[in-house]
Structure 1
Amino acid sequence: MNCLRSSVSHLSTMASQLPSSSPFTRAVVSSMRKLYPEALADKSFDNTGLLLEAPFEPSRRQKNSVLLAIDLTTAVADEAIKRRDSAIVAYHPIIFRGLKAITLDDTQQRSLLRLAQNGISVYSPHTAVDTVPGGMADWLCDVVTGTFQPVTTTTHPASQNCNSTLYSVPTYPQAGAVPTSSSANASQQVSHTRSTIHPSPTASIPEGFESAGAGRLVTFNEAQPLTTLIDHIGRGVGLPGGIPIAIPQSQSVDDIRIRTVGMCPGSGSGVLMRGSEIPDLLFTGEMSHHETLAAIERGSVVISLAHSNSERGYLRAVMQTKLLQELSQQWKSDRESAIQALQDSTKQGAASSSSESEIYQDGSVEVSVSEADRDPYGIMVWRQ
């Protein structure tokens, strides 16, 4: 019996010593799962959730901060390491398919190894953000209807000089901070209704997320000039140097009026072109040549911004504020529970490390949007 008790005690001690991510990182993951339930992601192809869990070392503490990005590139990893963030929320999964090895030869795997070495975890929500009410698809509705107006707009120049005699230096759009819907200019808002194009399966929808699904359809009460919607889109996503647009060959941009707009972030054709009828305007990140031809032959307009330009503005417009609010509450609750547990443990004579106590004394929370993150495609404007 004594031997059994000793074994149970030993196993309990071993379990308590198993590596885990930092307490703050666990609060980040919990907050993301509340805001963007993983059950809403399209698991038929997607890979969402905590993709890299960096072991926590109390002697080398990270800041209580999160970095938001669309793509986890080497530049974004460098940024997070320099900032000493605890976690990166990368919208696109950096691990998409099964890995047979993790080596330094692969640039993405090298970033993961470096982040783990520096105590930085990676969480990817992807299609959960697309489908959730108030998520990326609904933000595109706000953009096209003029509900959101950007306060600032910046561009990422590839370099300071360009030796081309015909074209400017490439620029990469980046939407700045935007006001909430309630503070937007009412004169810019257009009366409309919204609906979900492809509702999520009922069994996968958590309580409170009943309107979840892929894609959104905006129906204007009165048909709108296409040029007005183009202006809304340009301002909302960060004034790209050019907007790729496809229109039926028999029409001109100035003459086209739009009653219905279908929206899907990223690659949207699979969502927007199902069925016998398609919207007057298909607004997405990218569509293939033949899909676009099929759409305009059916009388519709296509606006495709380059894949992640249809996604990146959401980080500043919505996710940054939502995550900061949820994470602040989660971290406050976690700290209070942990501090109480430490106090109770101390009263019972158990020893606690000073580093463990210091972790929960820090009530700071920071959520930032990556400055290095950008779409691979920039736009070089013809100087003449």
Structure 2
Amino acid sequence: MASMTGSAPFSRAVVRAMQRLYPKALADSSWDNTGLLLEAPFDPSRRKSNTVLLTIDLTRAVADEAIALNSSIIVAYHPIIFRGLKSLTFEDTQQQTLLRLASHGISVYSPHTAVDAAPGGLGDWLADILTGTRQTSRHDDTSDKDTAQPQPSTLQNKDNNDDAFAGKRLTYTLHYQQSQRGLSFRFSYPPIPHSRWPIVPQSPELESHPGSGIGRVVTFEKPQPLPTLLDRIGEGLNNPKGFPIAIPQDKTISEIEVRTVGICAGSGASLFKGLDVDLLFTGEMSHHEALAAIEKGQTVISLFHSNSERGFLRDVLVGQLEQAVQEEWKVVREEENGREELNEAMGDEEFEVLVSEVDRDPYGIVILKEGE
């Protein structure tokens, strides 16, 4: 049977669910490119499985994973297309990926800054990690955090350069932030009383998503020791081997207390301009931007760009999407009822929302070890 006009019915249900959760109106359309970026034609004779694959970056490896899973659609947080294309050829690696996916009938949707701006989105997820609260709708909501006891800091109180390996032969291993597979995200730290609001509120505000806006400012009722916040970040990110921090040159980590935090997933420097807070918590900042911040007395924590985003997929988006797709898939199946050529696709009520196991930030950390 020839291909039909339009994408697979299940893919349409996923797109509707994403647009309901994270409307395109929340995205920064002045530069961002969100929505259905690749609509692969539906061929009933080559029907895909009712599987949506979540990823931060749509790389060749993630495309291979989606093809192996026989996925119907990929939800890629970062848009693989940012600017208009004059051609689609195999000379460009990203266009190669798009052409391969289209040939396999796999569509691509990107929400990007709509997720950043939405209440319960990425900004609130990072704020939740710091504050020990759950304003995001998490997939695993069985935490007993309200009764948890404060935990002692696990950060070694050593602010000087480590010269333990001086003059010794070194070996190294390359460590990437772990995929989020199998994590439960049950934080052991108690909540910290605080207030929070967007750095740039949504204007005009969407009635369906009140309180939206890019970035977050968190103000603690009482100043918090920086080592305490570092412990919370480490646990919230599944204990990475390390992440960059910049502090004023006249301070040590153990001396710094934090009352206010500016938060932005990904690259946050442009959003932080003029923001008077103690701590800037983001995915990345340039050398000169971080230097300017510490000269003003601020502290900067950066997580490598996409490591400030990746945990959100399993911790929050899986659960949100499972519920929304279940509702939208039922509606699509009712709308298409009676179309004989779609009987097989419409008869399959089951679906899966999976998180990529190969998606990772391009940067890893080299761990030095003393040689034998």
Same fold (TM over 0.5): yes
How far apart are 1:170 and its partner, in Å? 2.8
How far apart are 1:173 and its partner, in Å? 3.1
How far apart are 1:101 and its partner, in Å? 1.1
The one of the two structures with greater contact order (alpha-carbon pairs below 8 A, sep at least 6) is: 2
Q: State the distance in 2 between where 1:334 and 1:98 align.
A: 31
Q: 1:300 aligns with which of 298, 301, 315?
A: 298
The one-letter amino acid of 2:263's match is M
Q: State the distance in 2 between where 1:299 and 1:268 align.
A: 18
The one-letter amino acid of 2:179's match is Q
Equivalence for 1:327: 325
Q: State the distance in 2 between where 1:44 and 1:236 align.
A: 32
Q: 1:98 aligns with which of 77, 84, 104?
A: 84
Q: 2:127 aligns with which of 120, 130, 141?
A: 141
Q: State the distance in 2 between where 1:225 and 1:175 align.
A: 28
Alignment partner of 2:281: what SS? Answer: strand
Task: Decide which structure has the larger Cα Rg and report it.
Answer: 1
The one-letter amino acid of 2:194's match is H
How far apart are 1:239 and its partner, in Å? 1.8
Give deviations 1:167-193, integer Å, cap 9, x for gaps.
12333333455658xx755x5211111
Aligned pair in 2 of structure 1 residues 143, 297: CA closer, same or farther (>3 Å)? same
1:1-384 equivalences under 5 Å are: 19-147=5-133, 165-176=170-181, 185=188, 187-202=189-204, 205-273=205-273, 275=274, 277-339=275-337, 342=338, 352-353=339-340, 355-384=341-370
Q: Check the 8 A contact 2:179/2:358 in 1, yes or no.
A: no
Q: State the distance in 1 between where 2:184 and 2:223 align.
A: 26
Structure 1: 4+ residue segments shifted above 2 A: 146-151, 169-180, 336-339
Give deviations 1:142-181, integer Å, cap 9, x for gaps.
1112336999xxxxxxxxxxxx94312333333455658x
The one-letter amino acid of 1:168's match is T
288-297 or 187-196, larger mean C-alpha shift: 187-196
Gaps of 5+ in 2: 141-168
The one-letter amino acid of 2:206's match is P
235-244 or 357-366, larger mean C-alpha shift: 235-244
The one-letter amino acid of 2:49's match is K
Task: Give the structure with the larger helix fraction.
Answer: 1
The one-letter amino acid of 1:248's match is P
Q: Check the 8 A contact 2:13/2:329 in 1, yes or no.
A: yes
Give deviations 1:19-38, integer Å, cap 9, x for gaps.
11011111110000000000
Q: Check the 8 A contact 1:197/1:213 in 2, yes or no.
A: yes
Gaps of 5+ in 1: 1-16, 152-163, 343-351
Q: Check the 8 A contact 2:181/2:355 in 1, yes or no.
A: no
127-136 or 139-148, larger mean C-alpha shift: 139-148
Alignment partner of 1:380: what SS? Answer: strand
Q: State the distance in 2 between where 1:234 and 1:264 align.
A: 17
Aligned pair in 2 of structure 1 residues 359, 18: CA closer, same or farther (>3 Å)? closer
Give deviations 1:291-311, integer Å, cap 9, x for gaps.
111111111100011110101
Q: TM-score, normalised by structure 1?
A: 0.84
Q: State the distance in 2 between where 1:106 and 1:214 align.
A: 32
RMSD: 2.1
Equivalence for 1:5: none
Percent of pairs identical after alignment? 54
Q: State the distance in 1 between where 2:277 and 2:310 align.
A: 24
Q: Check the 8 A contact 1:262/1:282 in 2, yes or no.
A: yes
Aligned pair in 2 of structure 1 residues 136, 52: CA closer, same or farther (>3 Å)? same
Give the count of matched residue pairs. 338
Q: State the distance in 2 between where 1:261 and 1:328 align.
A: 37
Alignment partner of 1:381: what SS? Answer: strand
Q: State the distance in 1 between where 2:52 and 2:220 align.
A: 38
